[in-house]
Each structure stands twice: as C-alpha cells, then as structure tokens.
Amino acid sequence: MTINLKLASIRSALAPRGSSPHEAEDSVQKAWIRRASRHAMQSMPPFGPSTSDRNAMRYFFLDAACWFNEALCCRYTVVQFGKLRLPMRIDGVLTTAEWHWALGLFTDGQFQVFGAWRDEGPETVQRIAEDLHDRGLERVHALAADAGVVAAMKARHPKLCELTVAELVESGAVSYRMRQAIRWTGAAAQRLQERMSRAVKKYGPFADHAAAAEFLAQTFQRADRDLLADYWDRTKPAPYGVSAAPRILVRAA
C-alpha cells in the first residue's frame, strides 16, 4: 500500500500540469527513461565511457517534439539565456525568426542545454517561464537573461530566479566559487552562441518554422553531448578556478 502511494505521488510529480490520464502516463514513461539515462551517464566512472560508446551516442537523437519537452532537473547554479536569428524563406520571401535558448550549469560543473523558444511577441517570455516550470525547473541561484525573461521567471515562481547575475555581483555577497561558476557559464554560453551561429549560416535559410525547430533540436543536442564529453574529460569534478571555456565547443557544429 505504501509503495503504491509513493508511486502515485511520483507519477503526479512527473506528469505535466493539466494533462489527461493517458497523456500523463505517456509523459511519466518518457520522463523515467530520460532521467534513468541521465543518471546512468552521470554515474559512470571518472574516466567516462569508452570511445566506441561515445561514438555510438552521437547517432542517437530525440526528435524535435521530445527534445523541446524534455524533463529538467529541479535546481541549477547558473542559467544563461541567449538569442539566435534564423534566416527563413517562406513562400519565396526571405525573412528572419528569432529564437531564445538557455544553458544551465549544475553544481558539479556539468552543463545542459534547456531548449529553444521561438519569439512570437511580448507573451513569449511568459511561455518560456511556464515551459521551464512545467518541465521540472524549481530553483535557479543566478540568472543571466533579458529583463523580460527575468520578470517572467520571478512572476511564475520567486525561486525560479533568486537573483540575477548582475544583482548577485553588485551585492558583494557572491563567493569566489559562485563567481567562477558565473564566468564559466558566460564563457560556455558565448562559445555555444558562436557555434550555433556558424551552423545557422551553413544550413539556412529554412523553409518553415518546423524545419527550423528540427534543426535547432538536432544541433543543440550535438552541442549538449559535446559538453557532456568535455565534462567526462576534465581532471577535476567542477570547473571552479578554471578560466578557459570548454574547448570542445570551438568545433564546428
């Protein structure tokens, strides 16, 4: 009886808000698979997986729909947002579409790309905050983002943005360890922005928004796996005290 109650509470926690029983069960199964997979990767020995295992991982990608709805962990040390402009050719007309993206840092020095959101007007920031919260995000110690995103995160839940990076630095209460985490995340986000910009220039323009979303899902997943490989290759468990950004992001997408 106790076990069944615990399982029911776990299912309700993993299921998206407002979903039907069938959708909830499907979401729970996918969430279990993703979390078990991430736990298995994080539980690997310090030297990481073999070269053959890493090469095999590069050929397995979630489709865009699954990646955009992937479950997140509840807490991150630093989260930084960025923007990409994608060239579009819709019905023969050249235009651009702006997408927001986010990169999070765990306390152990591992990065994770949160996802990407197409800018559809003033309501976009609210949609971003809702999406992150529904996917499991509960607490961010330091957030680097535009004022609109910061306001939306704080309005959705105060702990989604305890402090912005600017507020934390100006307060003088930032520790050396946190200062290094902020610098590391900023450097990694800049490298990721440059890598994605090169890929956009190489593969654009895109025929429609669905094609652009599929491109972003695949390209960000490749970057995410390169970041994980970089994490495995480090001699220290955390990046604090290291000034260089992850070298692996310098590679072409």
pLDDT in tens, 10-58: 445 545 555 555 555 555 454 544 444 444 444 444 444 444 444 444 4
Q: How many CA atoms lie within 13 A of 128 on its CB side?
A: 29
The CATH class that applies to domain 73-250 reads alpha beta
pTM of the model: 0.73
Is the pLDDT at 5 greater than 60, yes or no? no
Helix boundaries (H) for 69-208? 124-134, 147-156, 165-171, 176-203
Can you give the pLDDT at residue 26?
A: 54
Q: Please answer whether residues 223 and 196 qualify as being in contact, where contact means their C-beta atoms are separated by less than 8 angstroms.
A: yes
Can you give the pLDDT at residue 61?
A: 79
231, exposed or middle or buried, with CB in 10 Å at 0-12, 13-18, 19+? buried
Can you give the pLDDT at residue 201?
A: 94
Q: What are the boundaries of each domain within the chain?
A: 73-250
Q: What is the pLDDT of residues 200-239, one digit of tens each?
A: 999 999 999 999 999 999 999 998 888 887 777 665 544 4
- Rounded Cα distance, 44 and 61, in Å: 20
Is the pLDDT at 3 greater than 80, yes or no? no
Can you give the pLDDT at residue 49?
A: 43
Mean pLDDT of 101-114: 90
